[in-house]
């Protein structure tokens, strides 16, 4: 049994929002305030219907109160669709009885399936929960709004008064609209909610509550006084199976959640001289040093791990076939990256390891967790803050990569991203905008370029992703026409071959350069003709980022000199100090260059002469181009070092610490598009 769909209206970030889920693990990712926490709370409301405050209504709708809520009061509606498969001959499945108030007879009959003499039903149930004003008070509400409200603040005060006194939850069968009791809903679900703001004391209390729940059997509680007198023996007998199992599981599996390396063990004990509520305690032992501390004295990171782990195991121990859900908010809280990875790998494999009949919902901001989550388990959540109809959108990555058109590109993209969505690359899943670059030099320098252009990429929630080549199509496929509309800027190289040293060794013409479009750019334009995708590439002679960057910065000779010296080898450093960018002097004194550099520089000079002789009117352009080609030749094996040098070289900084560098024009154009 599992929740396969939720429809939320007028709750928190959700004006009118629908999302489908998977059986098992569901990882919800997105930027801050995208709706992740609200989604978990909406799920948890099934188990623990709580009082709703005025702040839980969708703010965008409340702001339109004068249009929407003069004649009717706002309400919250959450509809849950539940799937459950049952065999006709399974007489032990009690879940179907709990679902009966929410079934449709017609739907039940239509979902009958028979295979090899075995009859199964794919049960579809629907629960509609509505938080609304009691109709008896509607007229009173309307009068209050008419007489007391002059602005939005006034309206909130009126609504708050009615919410606190006259609002309540009501439940119906979402198929037939038949009324249902609240208990009929809450009895279906066994939901464990672990919030992001968890303390040591909460850890202790939660664990204790769960263990004590085993003592609430009527037979044991019937004679409480006798139970207290014999507490040592009776508690040990009662709790021994669960305590023993927990301790054994912990010792056998603690490495699965990353505790083994911390020299940590756990012990559960019973104290006869305490009240029932304090009979069970958990202590943490440092096995290396030998000392023992209460759980609440342990670090928050270990406490989080232990709390999550024990709640999962207690769910496994609990008898019955209740529908189990684990809602885990930001499991990365208080954990260093390695522990995050270990814990989540454990959560991902829970069903396979333990065979738990459990649906798991996890929200996270951690790229460490998204890197291991698996594409099929992830959902992107975004909140559109543009325009008057702001609302949440979501996208299942499994659905995004479903190969519906019979091509192989989606399968190829999924396979590629499965391998390469590491910690740094998966960061793009959380950002508002994405810049895809080929190599390390662009990744290092683009943040500086944004600063020079007057914008910080952190403030814009931009992720810069180095894809290590030209595999843009796989990464862009992640955002291709999906519901979460992120702007994606692709900064790619033109890779025009100015000189073919294996061929004629001549310098190509500018007309060839200007008319050339690489096939990978053509392919990208054809496949991704979407408004939120843009490609930019070199335009003034560069064939890669590095030489275009150099060409752009030749406008300032001192800057160009500092950049050039970051790339060239020691064998021509002194030569360059003498003759700078005087190509005539280079030709005249080429014999002063030693070793391999002599042969290399001469090849470039010969290519330059072949072109200048044909096009003397563009001599100045070709001079710059040759120096750019020489720069690229020496920079190609140390692009990262060159980029770091450009970031840190004092010769490239003004007195106030700002950079003297000029942003390549094609990148300026791309950033302008991204930021508008």
| C-alpha to C-alpha distance for 164 and 53, rounded to whole angstroms | 8
- Sequence-distant (≥ 6) Cβ neighbours of residue 141 within 8 angstroms: 73, 133, 158, 162, 166
pLDDT at 306: 61
Residue whose entry in the numeric block shows the structure tokens 């849950």: 80
Q: Is the dihedral of CA 299, 301, 304, 305 positive or negative?
A: negative
Q: How many CB atoms lie within 10 A of CB 396?
A: 21
Burial code (b: 16+ CB inside 10 Å, e: under 16) for 16-41 equals: ebebebbebbbbbbbbeebbbbbbbb
CA atoms within 13 A on the CB side of 591: 1
What residue ranges in 58-117 does DSSP mark as E strands? 76-87, 112-115
3-state SS class at 443: helix
- Segment holding 643, helix H or strand E: helix 639-648
Alpha-carbon gap, residue 392 to 352, rounded angstroms: 32
Cα–Cα distance between 525 and 449 in angstroms, integer? 25
Handedness of CA 663, 667, 673, 676 (dihedral sign): negative
pLDDT of residue 484: 86
Determine phi and psi for 372, rounding to 5 degrees: -110, -5
CA 537 vs. chain centroid, Å, equals 29
- H/E element, 368: helix 367-373
Extended beta strands in 49-108, E state: 76-87
Length of the chain: 676
pTM score of the predicted model: 0.80
Quick one: pLDDT at residue 546?
Answer: 96
Can you tell me the distance from the alpha carbon of 79 to that of 180, in angstroms, rounded to the nearest whole number? Answer: 13
What CA–CA distance (Å, rounded) separates 512 from 496?
Answer: 9
Mean pLDDT of the chain: 82
**pLDDT attached to residue 97:** 80
Beta-carbon contacts of 255 under 8 Å, excluding residues fewer than 6 positions away, are: 261
Q: Residue 268 forms beta bridges with which residues?
A: 282
Spell out a b/e string for 122-152, using b for 16 or more CB atoms within 10 Å of the CB, else e: ebbbbbbbebbbeeeebeebeebbeeebeee
Residue 202 sits at φ, ψ, to 5 deg, of: -65, -40
Low-confidence stretches of the chain (pLDDT < 50) are 200, 203, 211, 214-215, 218-232, 234-235, 238-239, 270-280, 319-321
């Amino acid at each position: 049994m599992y929740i396969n769909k939720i429809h939320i209206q007028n709750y928190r970030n959700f004006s009118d929002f629908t999302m489908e889920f998977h059986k098992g693990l569901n990882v919800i990712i997105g930027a801050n305030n995208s709706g992740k926490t609200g989604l978990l709370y909406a799920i948890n409301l099934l188990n623990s219907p709580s009082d709703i405050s005025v702040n839980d209504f969708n703010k965008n709708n409340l702001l339109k109160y004068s249009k929407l809520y003069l004649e009717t009061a706002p309400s919250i509606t959450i509809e849950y669709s539940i799937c459950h498969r049952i065999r006709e001959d399974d007489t032990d499945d009690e879940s179907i009885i709990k679902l009966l108030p929410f079934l449709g007879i017609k739907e039940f009959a239509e979902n009958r399936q028979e295979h090899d003499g075995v009859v199964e039903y794919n049960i579809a149930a629907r629960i509609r929960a509505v938080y609304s004003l009691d109709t008896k008070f509607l007229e009173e509400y309307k009068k209050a709004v008419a007489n007391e409200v002059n602005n939005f603040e006034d309206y909130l005060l009126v609504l708050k008064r009615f919410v606190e006194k006259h609002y309540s939850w009501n439940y119906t069968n979402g198929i037939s609209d038949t009324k249902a009791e609240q208990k009929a809903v809450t009895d279906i679900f066994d939901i464990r909610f672990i919030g992001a703001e968890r303390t040591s004391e909460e850890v202790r209390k939660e664990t204790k509550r769960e263990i004590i729940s085993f003592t609430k059997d009527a037979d044991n509680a019937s004679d409480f006084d006798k139970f207290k007198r014999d507490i040592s023996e009776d508690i040990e007998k009662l709790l021994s199976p669960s305590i023993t199992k927990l301790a054994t599981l912990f010792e056998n599996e603690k490495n699965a959640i990353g505790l083994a390396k911390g020299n940590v063990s756990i012990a559960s004990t019973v104290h006869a001289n305490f009240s029932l509520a304090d009979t069970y305690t958990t202590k943490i032992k440092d096995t290396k040093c030998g000392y023992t501390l209460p759980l609440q004295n342990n670090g928050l990171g270990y406490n989080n791990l232990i709390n999550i782990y024990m709640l999962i195991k207690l769910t496994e121990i609990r008898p019955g076939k209740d529908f189990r859900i684990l809602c885990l908010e930001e499991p990365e809280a208080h954990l260093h990256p390695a522990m995050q990875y270990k814990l989540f790998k454990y959560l991902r494999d829970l069903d396979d390891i333990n065979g738990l009949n459990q649906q798991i919902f996890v929200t996270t901001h951690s790229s460490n967790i998204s890197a291991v989550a698996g594409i099929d388990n992830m959902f992107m959540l975004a909140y559109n803050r543009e325009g008057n109809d702001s609302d949440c959108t979501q996208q299942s990555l499994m659905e995004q990569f479903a190969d519906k058109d019979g091509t192989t590109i989606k399968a190829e993209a999924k396979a590629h991203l499965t391998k390469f969505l590491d910690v740094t690359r998966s960061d793009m899943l959380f950002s508002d905008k994405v810049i895809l670059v080929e190599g390390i030099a662009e990744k290092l320098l683009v943040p500086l370029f944004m600063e020079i252009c007057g914008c910080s990429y952190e403030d814009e929630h931009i992720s810069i992703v180095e894809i290590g080549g030209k595999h843009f199509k796989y990464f862009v496929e992640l955002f291709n026409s999906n519901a979460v509309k992120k702007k994606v800027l692709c900064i790619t190289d033109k890779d025009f071959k100015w000189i073919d040293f294996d061929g004629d060794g001549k310098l190509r013409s500018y007309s060839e350069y200007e008319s050339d479009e690489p096939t990978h750019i053509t392919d990208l334009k054809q496949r991704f003709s979407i408004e939120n995708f843009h490609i930019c590439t070199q335009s003034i002679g560069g064939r890669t980022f590095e030489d275009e960057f150099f060409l752009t910065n030749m406008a300032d000779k001192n800057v160009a000199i500092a950049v050039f010296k970051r790339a060239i080898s020691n064998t021509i450093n002194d030569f360059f100090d003498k003759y700078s960018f005087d190509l005539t002097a280079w030709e005249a004194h080429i014999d002063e260059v030693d070793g391999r550099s002599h042969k290399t520089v001469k090849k470039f000079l010969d290519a330059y002469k072949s072109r200048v002789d044909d096009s003397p009117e563009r001599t100045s352009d070709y001079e710059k181009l040759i120096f750019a080609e020489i720069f690229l030749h020496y920079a190609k094996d140390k692009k990262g070092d060159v980029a770091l040098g450009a970031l840190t070289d004092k010769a490239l900084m003004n007195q106030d610490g700002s950079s003297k560098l000029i942003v390549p024009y094609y990148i300026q154009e791309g950033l302008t598009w991204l930021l508008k």
